[in-house]
Amino acid sequence: MQNNTRPYLSRLSRWFVRFFRETAFYSITFIFFVAWMMLVDSYGYFPWRRLLAETRSLERQKTYYIEQNVAARRQIEALRVNRDSLEKFARERFLMKRPDEDLFIIIDD
């Protein structure tokens, strides 16, 4: 049984050696090309990952600012409707007071 497998292995090994010898240049060139595209090129894997992370960060910022815009619009509408809330907002936010009032600011440490 060993005698039957040896010629088969011998032919197979000769074929592999001949195949890799003939295609070594193309294989090395292909590996170099893939490595160059993945690591060095401006459209490679690592720059792509950096740009993807930056895009996700900008998308999160976009949703945050949209939410802030909606909240500000609601607050503006509430201040337009109710004059008492406008006065309360001005007193709390901008520390405004009437001419005959005294204002005390308490700072918590």
Residue 90's pLDDT is 83
What is the C-alpha to C-alpha distance for residues 10 and 7, in angstroms, rounded to an integer? Answer: 5
What is the C-alpha to C-alpha distance for residues 63 and 52, in angstroms, rounded to an integer? Answer: 17
Q: What is the pTM of this model?
A: 0.53
**Residue with the two structure tokens 């090395």:** 28
Residue 62's pLDDT is 98
CA-based nearest residue to 91, from 81, 101, 77, 76: 101
> What is the percentage of the chain residues whose pLDDT exceeds 90?
25
What is the pLDDT averaged over residues 56-64? 98
Of the chain, the end-to-end C-alpha distance in Å amounts to: 90
What is the pLDDT averaged over residues 77-82? 89
Count Cα neighbours of 22 within 13 Å in the Cβ-side half-sphere: 6
Q: Is the pLDDT of residue 55 over 90?
A: yes
* Spans of all domains in the chain: 1-41, 42-85
Can you give the length of the chain in residues? 109
